[in-house]
Amino acid sequence: MLVSEILTTIKNTRGTNSKKQILLDNSNNALLKRVLQYANDPYIVFNVVKVPKVSKSRQHGHAEIDRWNLFLDCAKLCSERYHTGNAALEMMKIAITSSTLEEEKWMRKVLKKHLAIGISTKTINSVFPGLIPTFDVQLAQKFEPKRLKGKEVVALEPKLDGIRCCAIVRSGVATLYARSGKQITNFDDTIGLELSILGDGFYDGEIMGKDFVALMRQAYRKENVDTKDSYLSLFDFLPLDDWVNNEPGLTCHHRRLALEERFNAYGTTAKYLSLIPRHIILACVDQVNLYHHQFVAEGYEGVMIKDLDALYRRGRGYEVMKVKSFQDADVMVLRIEEGNGKFKGMCGNLVVDYNGVEVGVGSGLNDELRKLIWDSPDDYIGKIVEVRYQEVTPDGSLRFPTFIHFRNDR
């Protein structure tokens, strides 16, 4: 089976397990593996904004593996910036001209880093272990009061609603990443420039703006970028060697002291950086609830509870806990279902994957977005969407799921 046929089959197949089985059946296909890697590896960035359409006269007399490898080799050169600008576009045009029409469609999806086949990095890595690198940062668990037992004090911080941003400053140059490891470049001349002055290290925070949806659009758009109203609110820091070697040596308390020392040395002139306020409280539920209600009243999402003695742990753990007034989840769109009645001819439901269970999400979608999704389903299948819900049902589904927004940072 050709790679383009495999991708189409996965796209048209329902259910995560069924999609995974197709990958397993083709696990010896080295070309498929390379295509999946280039399309999903967050560290492979092609730096090609728009590839011009090729002429109808195509030259695809070569074998499939040669056609794909020509394209992928060109993409690799663009990623490594051996070719840039018009030279990169011309080279990519020649490579795509050698493909079939069906292959061209998938090649363009690779360049967009969006295959839209409804399969996650986790599933790909379960079949091809380690193929797609993961950018693991510290994540919070839901608050459990019993976790306060034995502690005298804990740190509380307001929970922000922005774009999680991790920055690596090396040799005075800052590189910004989303939580997924996807590089963010639209803030290099603002947030990145000021971070670089703070010194080498790993900085963790949240990019904030006046409006979340507008912020998401500015973060990843290619043209007419305006990020001057955005800033990075910092809440954690690691020495560079600790991050690179995954050998954290500083506790939460001492990491904060190191961050404050660097921030204060830079002074109060930072326009695009701020420190999230921290409160040290007695480790009791009443205090947590008091600050939670206070933060929510001030417009924050909730409260973060941090163990002052804990080391930085990648992944989700109880070193950091969160309390929110609602539950939410980031889920992948598997397919689009047409609506009924007044929603006929537009999206009725986004069918998403929640821990292997298919859930239909229709509430929260306005008519304009329903039409956009239905008219261009491939632009949305495979995307990550944030949904808000009341609770998880006994069968593993979500009760009263509501669409909030698409997450371009994940």
CA–CA separation, 72 and 111 (whole Å) = 10
With both helix axes pointing from N to C terminus, report the angle between 30-40 and 3-12 in degrees, rounded to the nearest 10.
Answer: 60
| Partners of 332 in beta bridges | 353, 384
Per-residue pLDDT of the chain (410 residues; tens, 9 = 90+): 999 999 999 999 988 899 999 999 999 999 999 999 999 988 787 877 677 677 666 665 678 999 999 999 998 988 887 777 777 788 888 888 888 889 999 999 998 888 989 898 889 999 999 999 887 899 999 999 999 999 999 999 999 988 899 999 988 889 899 887 888 888 888 999 999 999 999 999 999 987 766 676 667 666 666 778 899 999 999 999 999 888 999 999 999 999 999 999 886 688 999 999 999 999 999 999 999 999 989 989 899 999 999 999 999 999 999 998 788 899 999 999 999 888 999 999 999 999 889 999 999 999 999 999 999 998 899 899 999 997 888 889 998 899 998 987 66
CA–CA separation, 215 and 161 (whole Å) = 11
CA–CA separation, 332 and 330 (whole Å) = 7
User: What's the pTM value of the predicted model, to 2 decimals?
Assistant: 0.70
Which contiguous run of DSSP H or E holds residue 21?
A: helix 16-25
CA–CA separation, 177 and 372 (whole Å) = 28
Position 130, amino acid: G
Q: Which whole-number Å values give the CA distances from 197 to 5, 170, 194, 257, in the listed order?
A: 50, 11, 5, 18
| pLDDT value at residue 267 | 62
Locate 402 and state its tokens. 């509501």
CA–CA separation, 138 and 235 (whole Å) = 12
Residues whose CB falls within 8 Å of the CB of residue 61, separated by 6 or more in sequence, listed in order: none
CA–CA separation, 91 and 111 (whole Å) = 13
| Partners of 76 in beta bridges | none
Locate 380 and state its tokens. 């949305």
CA–CA separation, 170 and 168 (whole Å) = 6
How many Cβ atoms sit within 10 Å of the Cβ of residue 180? 17
Q: Which whole-number Å values give the CA distances from 65 to 9, 11, 70, 157, 193, in the listed order?
A: 19, 21, 8, 53, 43
Could you tell me the domains of the chain? 3-127 (no CATH), 138-324 (3.30.470.30), 327-406 (2.40.50.140)
Q: Dihedrals φ, ψ of 295, to 5°?
A: -65, -40
Which contiguous run of DSSP H or E holds residue 174?
A: strand 173-178
Going by their DSSP bridges, the two strands 347-354 and 357-361 should be labelled as: antiparallel
| pLDDT value at residue 304 | 98
Locate 409 and state its tokens. 């940072």
| pLDDT value at residue 113 | 86
List helix spans (H) across 166-269.
193-198, 212-220, 240-244, 252-266
